[in-house]
Each structure stands twice: as structure tokens, then as C-alpha cells.
Structure 1
């Protein structure tokens, strides 16, 4: 009797081919499998489907799979075991070492998931120029730690409750004062706390958008928003973003054509351009919205980067006083990404509807981080921290703009506040981002900030993480080669 060694079942790798894409089929296979291996969906030691099984499953010729597998082997991501099949390589195995020694790298699929993955789990990222987060040294960990210790000294019974859908009442009272300082009148019962601005946007989308409804978004805009709306089944309709706000002529025309339910936009320190809505355009926008019965969701997560004494931080919610504007704010960008406490302010009926939806989705948010934020706000630490933060970000932005322009990029609209810089590289930037990532540099290509991910020559830079002379030299060389 012959002993047989059981081989592991092949991994499931369905849905790798997009027939509508112009990308070669073998390139698609290599790119998707590379992405799954890097994301640990396909882990070390897992066996890939046989060449015949993969060809049948993906509906491609066997030669296409052979080419893709051979390229993955050459890249060190997969190893071929004679008589057994193809397996995902373990980190540090000879094949991977050979790849680093000079084999051609596999194509990188640069999309929204790619950017998020590299921002949240920045393996081997040395220069996070395209990140949306500020470096830890600019944030205020000490205030959070002090507040956390203070909360921990409270009676244990106060920390064991289940919370409420509306949020920690003392924090909502403090948020009402915070909003009043921005000219927005909102009583505590018109404020709902959330797990960051993202949850606030999600609740509004789930409450007011049905599958097939048209929703207006800015172009360019925050890339995650597009995915959230797509999951809700919305028809995403882009509105061009100009230097001082949305293109109102286009917005008017799109309202007539699509009858949208919502317009999601940022007035202050827009992501990715860094621009701020002008007062004149804000007034015109609200008149237009009233004429079309359009509700506006104002994402103000970056608003505190603008100086309240500068006179440029125009918020729609302060002009409208929450009659047709749903206002979303938070503190993860200025305090700490890990302190995900946000809030929504709106009219009473909207808050009631959002609270009901929140109860169904999450029951209630954890009260502990809300108590910590309350301590930070009430002890006066936040105001002083933000004043220091603005000064450091403003200085970093000025330095970064000069360096980027010297490297060969064009920055036509230098922001007055915030840490985002929108720069034109003069060449399609998705391949540039893939090349940079292989050298340990994270860039954010403009295509990801477009609702259709159309090719773009733009890049979003984080001023605070774009100070490195190595980055500037790399950009100069890359643009010179592309030029």
C-alpha cells in the first residue's frame, strides 16, 4: 500500500476578472492575487487552484493563468512545488528574497482599498506623504491620557451603564457650546453623538437614501464616501469643486436633471483640495438648495484647522441654522484617530430619525470615550492644543508647498488652512503611486478622489508628512523620467 500525503484544499479565488476593464486578463489576475496575498486573504502556505481549475473558474484561457502564476512566482509571492501545485510563499523564503534581489515586481492595483490599507496598516511605509492622518507628535496624547485617568477614578458603577442612542448628555451639552462658538445654534437635544464622522454620514445615508436615489457629491472628494453611497445603492452624481466651493451652475443643472435627495460636501478645509467655501458662494448654494428642496450634509471634520478669527471659515450650518443642513463634526483629526467620537447636529425630527436608526444599527456608542472627550473639552485643553496645532500645520504647509513646487509639481491653489495640498504632477499618478509604494513612499493619486476613479494627474499630499527631502528628491526624479 502506498502512503499518500494529503494536500490542502485550494483557496477560493473567485471573481478576479472584470470583463469591462481594458486591463489585460493576465495583469488582472496578477494584480488581484497580489492584493489578496498582501492583505493576508491568501495566507502563507495556502494552495492556489490548479491552472485548469483557475482557468475554468475565471473563464480565461489556461495560457493566461500560466502567465499569471509564472509572474507571481518570479515576484516571490508564490512558489511552484513539482507535482503538487502553486502555494503562497512565506515571508523571507528564497523566492521572495530573489524577487527583492531584482525580479520584476508584480503590478499593484491602486484603488480605494489599497490606500486605506496602507494608511491604516502602513507596512514598510517610510514616508506617508499621502496619508490623511497627522503624525502622533503633533497630536495631544497627554491630554487624552490625563482625561482617561480622571475618568478611571470615577465610581465603577458609572462606567458600567449601557449608554444611550443620543449619547452622553454632559458631552452633548458641551458640544452645544462648541457649536455656538462657530455660530451654530443647536440645543443638546438636537445633537447626536456617533462613532466618528463616518458613522454620522452612514446614518444619514441609511435614513434618507433609498436604492436608486441620486446623491450629489463633490468632484474631487473623500474617496470612502463614494463606497458608502455605492453600498447604499445610490446613484452618485459628481459636482465639480472649484477654488471657492462647488460649481453652482453645474449643481443647478444636475438638480433639475436628477432630482437628488442629498448633497454631501465639505465647506472648510476640503479633502483633498484644502480649499474653503466662500461666503458669497455659500449664500448662493443655500438659495439654490432651497429652490430644489435639496438637503445638504456638511462634513466639517477638518473645520477646526481653520482659525475662527480669520473670517474665512464659512459653515453652511451657521448660515442655515440647521434648517436644511445636517452638520457632522468630530475630533479624530485634531485629537487622535483612535478617539473616534463624532456628532451630528440637525433639526429635531432629523435627530430623532437618526437616533432610531442608530439604535437599530449599534444600540448605543461606548460611553467611555465620550466621557474622555468631555473631560478634554471641559478642562480647556482642547482649545489650547488646537491653537498650537494650527500654527504647526500652517508652517508645515508653507514649507511643503515650496518643496513640492521645486520638485516639479504645480500647486495652483495654496490652501489657507489645514494639512492637505492638492498638487498637479503633470502625468497620470496612479502608476506613480504604485512605483512610490515599492520604494516605501505612500502617495495618494487623484483618481481615487474621483467618483468614477478616472485617470488623474493630481496627488493629495499631507503637509505634515511631506517634509522629507528624500520624498522631494524621489518626486523630482520620477517626474523627470515621466516628463
Structure 2
């Protein structure tokens, strides 16, 4: 798929750029964003000239400039290839530390071929797509137009009318007490008993995972994660020296026979699981599954970390069971957040656990970053206590219900096969039948952001699966792109 040269981002003096300059800029951006990875062959001169509507001379000149700038290698008779550039990675962008899972494969003594797209690529490009969510079927959050900015603005105005002096302090290590008391009430509604002292406020699920990894995972420990599962945690555990082991999923939820074999073999330190509306499969635990996981945790002595970030998108009465409601925080560490339902940048989450755990998490939190921003916590407290949040969440559920079946039918009509048919939540997990890394790269060229299945694997195994956010699948150009791409793959194979 091609992008017209007039859509290639350019500096402010873009009007003075020649076609060669624009094409060079296009190539550099694609390489820097890792659409084209080291060792990959660039599009042929003929193909790129046709795609971009320029002469072959223009393409040759652009490629030669990219060679001179250190982006490409020229191989006589073969073409142009992306060069491995010897530039030190920016802190936080190394694959192991930045969320990519390539090094997880090394820990597991398995070495899959390098993926054409990694976690850093996705996270960087999420920013490019944030203002155009309809072009981001792979995004992990709801579009801004679905959310209620007035809830946040109203809470900020209310805080602004109070004495400013109370906002100047450091905050408290465990977090704003009234919010923790409010969360106690919320957990009681979920049949989870937790005092305010058993709750620690954190900067989202990501920080919670980071703190727990620092506290409980030592080099050589095994951590069981879903395969597929939320990819951003993989690198955090690997950087701690952990061995990641993937628990497979079925359309009914985690494969617990496989889990039992895994824990017998590896004797893990920790299991991390979405109990409700799992990312990316959309499955939820039944009571029988939850009891079996807790039995295995007791028998083989491992910690269970329950990530319930999508819980508020689950309607009352939906067939889903939370592990913490059965275990009552004896062995389960329960995580929650409001980034999916209120605002991605609010960054307020919480850890609920037994007292020794929350004390240790609080101490570790102070060592890593002192306290979390109390202003954010006060904003969330206002939102939760002024009576509008429940209705807001009900509207979100209704909107998701209104687009989920439509998105599922669209994907199936284009030839994709759905893993399951969840009755709630924002994600569909679909088998494209082709290399989803290549599909995601082609989608990026066409202006779409996809999340290929390899990102959700703890060892980034090649995959034909892909996650779709049903709230962002309404662009009429999306099914047209999928149809064209899949048909082109079939033609090339025939």
C-alpha cells in the first residue's frame, strides 16, 4: 500500500522540498519508526516509483542519499537493504527494558526470527494515531470522543475553588486517603474485602507491575503470563532476569491443563492474568476456572497477580469471576486502574493486597519515585464521588455493545476468523490467515495502526493473529484495505 508524497510529514519549509527530499524523509521516518527493520529489503525501485507516482530516477536518487546517510546498504544485483545502525539505544527503548519481548526468547532458550514490528514501534506510533482513532484499530484505548472530558474538567474546577495550599505538599506514600477509602467501597461491591491500608495508589497498571517485579521476581525466577497477553509487561519481567513462560488460551479462557503442566515443570514465582475481558482475547474466568487457578497457586506456592483494568467495562451479571473475590487477598494481588474509562493520561491505578504486600509496595514506591501525584488522585476522587462516573461507564458499555457485532461481522466478511465472541469489552482477537507483522507494516503505509499477534506473545513468535479495538473499526476504508491486502497475498501465493 502506498502513501502519496504530499502526505509525508515534512518540516515547515516543505514547499521547498524536492520529490527526492520528500522521499528521503519518508524512508528515514519508516526506518526510524521500525516499519523497515535492519536487514529488510526496501521496496524495489520499480514498485516504489509506481506506488509513489514518481520516476525511477527519483527513487534511485533517494535511495542513494539514504545510503550516504547510513540508513541503507546497496547490494549490487539485489537491491537496497536497511542497515544495522550502531547507535546506542535510548534508555527505555532497549527491547528487553522497553516492553519488547525478544530477550524473553533468549531467557527461554528459544530464538525466533526478529519481528518486523516491536513494542517500541507500536508505542511510538500510538502517538501519531492518537488524534485519528478511527485509523487505529490496533489501539488499546477508547477514542476521546467516547470519553467525558467534562468529568475531568469539572473535578479540576472544583479543586481550583479550594485552598491551593493543600495541593503543595508531597502527598502520602500510600496515596490520597479519601480515594483509598472510596476504592474500599468499590471493592466491597466486587465482594473483595480490603481496608484502606491494604490499598496503594500507583501511576497505572504499568507502575504496579514494575513495583511487583522489583519486589518479588529474582534473576532465574519463572513468571507465567498469558500467550497471548498484554505485551508491555513482558520486557519488565525479562529485565528483572525472569524466565517468561506462556499460558495458552482457548475460546473459553486460559488452558488450565496446560497451566498445570507449566507450573509442575517450571515452579513459577508468579502468574499474571486478566480475569475479566482479557487483553486481547476478550475472555473471562468462570468460577470453576478461578477456583482451579487458586488451587494450583496454593499447591505450587506461587503469587497470583490479577489485572482487572477492564473490569468496569464488564456489565453487572456478566459471567466473569474475580480471583480476589474468592481468595480475599491472601495470595492474590489485585490491580485496578481508570485509564481505560476516564483518561489515558490520568495515570491513577491501585494495588490491593495483604498488609505485608502493600507495606512492601509502598516502601518500593518511595524508593523508585517518592509519592504519586496527589492532584491526579484528588481529581479521580472527585469524579468517583460526584455521582456521574457510573452513568458514564454505562454509556461506554452501551456504545461498545452498539459496535461490537458490527465490527465482528466486518472482520468475518473480509475473511478473518474470530477467536471468540465476547459479549462485552473493547477487543476482538482475529486470525488474519497471513503474517500479521507484514499486514501491520502494510497498514502503516496506508495510514492504519494495527497490533500484530507477535507483540502479544512472550517470545514474539510469528503469528497470523491480530487484535482489533471495536471502537476504532468504523472507518469505511478499513475493510477495503483488508480485502485488498488479503487478496494480494493470495495472488502472490498462487
Is 1:117 the counterpart of 2:124? The answer is yes
Aligned length: 412
Q: Which residue is 2:219 aligned to?
A: 211
Gaps of 5+ in 2: 1-26, 49-57, 72-78, 84-114
The partner residue of 2:320 within 296, 313, 324 is 313
Change in 2 beyond 3 A, CA 1:38/1:247: closer
**SS of 1:334's equivalent?**
coil
Q: Which residue is 1:451 aligned to?
A: 458
Change in 2 beyond 3 A, CA 1:78/1:358: farther
Is 1:229 the counterpart of 2:214? The answer is no
Q: Which residue is 1:427 aligned to?
A: 434
Do the aligned partners of 2:338 and 2:348 also contact (CA within 8 Å) in 1?
Answer: yes
Change in 2 beyond 3 A, CA 1:347/1:35: farther
Do the aligned partners of 1:151 and 1:372 also contact (CA within 8 Å) in 2?
Answer: yes
| CA deviation profile, 1:169-197 (whole Å, cap 9, x unmatched) | 00000011111111111111100000011
Q: Which residue is 1:326 aligned to?
A: 333
Do the aligned partners of 2:180 and 2:199 also contact (CA within 8 Å) in 1?
Answer: yes
Do the aligned partners of 1:307 and 1:313 also contact (CA within 8 Å) in 2?
Answer: no
The partner residue of 1:80 within 34, 55, 65 is 65
Cα separation, 2, equivalents of 1:328 and 1:469? 37
Q: Which residue is 2:20 aligned to?
A: none
Is 1:355 the counterpart of 2:362? The answer is yes
Cα separation, 2, equivalents of 1:74 and 1:354? 55
Do the aligned partners of 2:220 and 2:241 also contact (CA within 8 Å) in 1?
Answer: yes
Do the aligned partners of 1:191 and 1:346 also contact (CA within 8 Å) in 2?
Answer: yes
Gaps of 5+ in 1: 1-31, 40-57, 59-63, 90-102
Cα separation, 1, equivalents of 2:124 and 2:343? 18
Change in 2 beyond 3 A, CA 1:75/1:276: farther
**SS of 2:278's equivalent?**
coil
Cα separation, 1, equivalents of 2:60 and 2:359? 54
Do the aligned partners of 2:119 and 2:231 also contact (CA within 8 Å) in 1?
Answer: yes
Cα separation, 1, equivalents of 2:61 and 2:326? 58
Cα separation, 1, equivalents of 2:341 and 2:384? 12
- Bigger Rg over Cα: 1
Cα separation, 2, equivalents of 1:409 and 1:288? 35
Matches within 5 A, 1:41-440: 74=59, 80=65, 86-87=68-69, 109-122=116-129, 127-310=135-318, 312-440=319-447
Do the aligned partners of 2:223 and 2:244 also contact (CA within 8 Å) in 1?
Answer: yes
Q: TM-score, normalised by structure 1?
A: 0.80
Cα separation, 1, equivalents of 2:219 and 2:486? 43
Q: TM-score, normalised by structure 2?
A: 0.78
Do the aligned partners of 1:77 and 1:88 also contact (CA within 8 Å) in 2?
Answer: no
Cα separation, 2, equivalents of 1:235 and 1:441? 34
Do the aligned partners of 2:324 and 2:334 also contact (CA within 8 Å) in 1?
Answer: yes
Change in 2 beyond 3 A, CA 1:132/1:105: farther
Larger RCO (alpha carbons 8 Å, 6+ apart):
2
Is 1:37 the counterpart of 2:22? The answer is no
Change in 2 beyond 3 A, CA 1:238/1:38: closer
Offset at residue 80 of structure 1 (A): 3.3
Change in 2 beyond 3 A, CA 1:240/1:104: same
Cα separation, 1, equivalents of 2:276 and 2:252? 10
Offset at residue 104 of structure 1 (A): 9.5
Change in 2 beyond 3 A, CA 1:242/1:193: same
